[in-house]
Amino acid sequence: MSDLTNKIHAKAEEYYDYMVQTRRHLHKNPEISFKEFDTTDYILHELKKIGIETERPMETGCIGIIEGGIESDRIIALRADIDALPMSEEGESKSVFISEREGAAHCCGHDFHTSNLLGAANILMDLKEHIPGKVVLIFQAGEEKLPGGGRLLTESGFLQNLGVQKIFGMHTNPNFAPGEVAVKPGAFMACTVEFEVEIQGKGGHAAAPHTAVDPIVIAAQVIQQFQTIVSRSLDPTEPAVITVGKIEAGSAHNIIPEKASLIGTVRAFSMETARFIKERMDAVLAGVTAAAGAGYSFTFDEGYPAVVNNEKTTEQFLKAAGIFMDEDRIKHLKKPIMAGEDFAFYQQQFPGTFFFLGTGSDDTDSKWSWHHPRYNVDERAFKTGAAVMASLALTE
């Protein structure tokens, strides 16, 4: 290891307790998308405390700017998302720092992302004389809610005006162990869509269904038909998912309701595929409801594009990661995953790479899936995450 590498590694150890304490504070005080006012104030305080210039281009979320000690026109951005999910959590492993705010929980890892980037910020300030050019630290609001804070920030032109040239981001991943990272060039995560359907039937008595038009039966047929779109209308080599996540209808045992509603998501790796799925869903709705004598409404909200990792920035990431870990700790993914991320909006403007940081272990009960109420992270991953993030800013 070089002298600089040893310093980065030592600093990651030095700030480990700080990152753990920060993460636990944020975990106890989660705020949902675009409501992260206290979280933003906390981050701004932490950045200003160590002398980092700050900006607040949106109502929530903020930017830190570090001027390096080596004269260069290089401007690199590091991004963390700061919002929590609108849900409750559970789990004995989190009992000492479980959410104290009803209906909000960091069961997504964003508390870790924020704390990890604050740790990297401290490392970078201590090693400021080694930084070529500028480092832009993005603490982004609203990743979990459309239209996505990443989209709003990139559309504002703020980062472009700063002259950002490339960007890196990460996400915790319970499928890998602390000390491991995972990445692949090219398609990495799917584009995401949210849809809503309302079936408009005719209410009546449950004992006389022939006098009504039952929207629940129609909804069941629609859901079944939606599943044939991927299996029978798409090229089998084209990955896609249609999931209905919520059904709502009815109020009593013996009443056929007027309406039934469905909401869900579509995942694919191109908006062209997503839009084809939209056409097929609309055709299914038109056919099934017409056959039953019902009506429908359908909205299809195009969300996040696919996360597509740039070849050159992925090479830089692999180089930075290779400084700190053996090759067998760097996982080269063969296939992308169907989860989505608004980091994709940055990649439409700047070359960038998004990677996974392993945070799953049995002894910390941290192998639960993202968005599960028991989701947790193995905090030992900070030592790898903060070191790699800092290294990306310190090395070419």
Other C-beta atoms within 10 Å of 223: how many? 16
How long, in residues, is the chain?
Answer: 396
CA distance 203 to 213: 7
User: What are residue 85's DSSP bridge partners?
Assistant: 105
Peptide bond into 147 cis (omega under 30): yes
Tokens 């991953």 map to which residue?
A: 381
Structure tokens at 241: 């998912």
83 flagged as catalytic:
yes
Phi first, then psi, for residue 58 (nearest 5°) are: -125, 170
143 flagged as catalytic:
yes
36 burial via Cβ count (<10 Å: 0-12, 13-18, 19+): buried
CA distance 23 to 17: 10
Q: Which of 83, 111, 144, 379 is catalytic?
A: 83
Q: Which of 31, 111, 143, 198 is catalytic?
A: 143
Tokens 């992308």 map to which residue?
A: 336
Positions annotated as catalytic residues are 83, 143
